[in-house]
Structure 1
Amino acid sequence: MREGNKGYPIWFKPPGRSMVAQVTENFNGGYRRNVSQSTVHHTLLCMGLRSRRAVRVPMMTPVHRCKRLQWAREHRNWTLEQWKKVAWSDESRFLLDHVDGRVRVCRLPGEVMARGCTGGGSVMLWAMFCWETLGPAIHVDVNLTRVTYLNIVADQVHPFMAKVFLEGSGLFQQDNVPCHTAHIVWECFEEHDEVFMVLPWPPNSPDLNPIEHLWDVLVRQVQSTAAPPLNLQDLKDLLLMFWYQTPQDPSGVL
């Protein structure tokens, strides 16, 4: 606890998305002397807590940046034909109560994001695609573990790669979350290395993955629908419907 403006104790650090009104209400609920929103706002400014646009990217350490730069240098001279051999994949959570990019947070200088920032109820999809065709999209109704991801690789990835890249020249892209890099998953990849190989990927680099653009398309389509989803089942149905309505040549959408 420390003294704030006019002697009022500042006994907490407000959560990232707390607005001044919420902070004022929380403060006044625990003390006999009430303060105004302007007093709270001024005190937060004096503490260095200012309104900033919320960050929408993962945290990057110096090691991450170094690996990311190395990957970019290794692939900067790839031709379009080489990139056409890559099948991109990812999973993404979609919030039922969507918060758009205009949300602002209260944070100290140097703070980038709070760990564990989450929304409300959500739906998770996993999907993949390549230059020439759209791939499967499935609803992940449990936590994505190494076992559930292994089933995705066996049931979705392998058949898609075998069908699209007939000569075994395809490269499968995935990020480096633990369930993707588990030993049992890599054993499966090694068993099918005559069908496809795995593209090395830098850590915390979703912005390098073009599937992010398709996720954005899905979000915009859900937001613009005449009948917004009322529950998670509605949201799941809309997401899958819009995914499979995407042109089979997704390069034209990106």
Structure 2
Amino acid sequence: MIWAGVNWYGNTELVFLKGKQNSIKYTGTLRQSLLPFMRELQSKIGDLTPIFQQDNASIHSSRHTKDFLTAENITMLSWPAKSPDLNIIENVWGLLARRVYANGRQFDKPSDLIAQIKHEWSQIDPAYIKKLVRSVPKRLEATRLLKGAKTGY
């Protein structure tokens, strides 16, 4: 499993997670990768408040994770159930997968797959991420208009 984040100014390093994840491991990942990313974002946006968006996976919505995010003053976006079409990282994961496995590419060794994932992640155009960020208000409005139904994003 891989964890990563994106925002207007760039993306995090990829974090390759080992083993079954739980809230304690997840908050460790957030401490290692999200907090520096959010601090850097805060330095770029001044008085604006960065908002962290994640889905409702059990390790994301656990009391332990919520307490961690609250203690770190991370503002969360309320997240409707079963709505991956709202989260721009899903578009990024899709693009990454298409590039990694382009032309039916296969990998014999995990290390080769990881190297290709890292390479393709580094090649994602910042303009693509900005386009996705600009789409968030439209995604939210489409969700409101469709009363939570799938939007097609």
2:42 equivalent to 1:142: no
User: Which residues of structure 2 form unaligned runs of 5+?
Assistant: 133-153
Moved over 4 A (4+): none
Q: Is the 8 A contact 1:162 1:168 kept in 2?
A: no
> What is the CA distance between 1:240 and its match in structure 2?
2.0
* SS of the residue 2:13 aligns to: strand
What is the percentage of aligned positions where both structures have the same residue?
Answer: 26
Listed as ranges, the matches of 1:47-196 within 5 Å are 124-166=1-43, 167=47, 169-193=49-73, 196=74
Distance (whole Å) between structure 1 residues aligned to residue 122 and residue 53 of structure 2: 21
Q: Which residue of 1 aligns with 2:124?
A: 246
Distance (whole Å) between structure 1 residues aligned to residue 71 and residue 128 of structure 2: 29
Distance (whole Å) between structure 2 residues aligned to residue 236 and residue 244 of structure 1: 12
Q: Is the 8 A contact 1:146 1:184 kept in 2?
A: yes
Q: Greater share of strand residues, 1 or 2?
A: 1
> What is the CA distance between 1:228 and its match in structure 2?
3.0
User: Which residues of structure 1 form unaligned runs of 5+?
Assistant: 1-123
Distance (whole Å) between structure 1 residues aligned to residue 38 and residue 100 of structure 2: 29
Q: Greater share of helix residues, 1 or 2?
A: 2
Listed as ranges, the matches of 1:211-250 within 5 Å are 211-224=89-102, 228-250=106-128
* SS of the residue 2:6 aligns to: strand
The structure, 1 or 2, with the larger RCO (C-alpha pairs under 8 Å, 6+ apart) is 2
Matched positions, count: 129
Cα deviations across residues 209-233 of structure 1 (Å, max 9, x unaligned)? 1111111111111222696312333
Q: Is the 8 A contact 1:134 1:247 kept in 2?
A: no
Greater Rg, structure 1 or structure 2?
Answer: 1
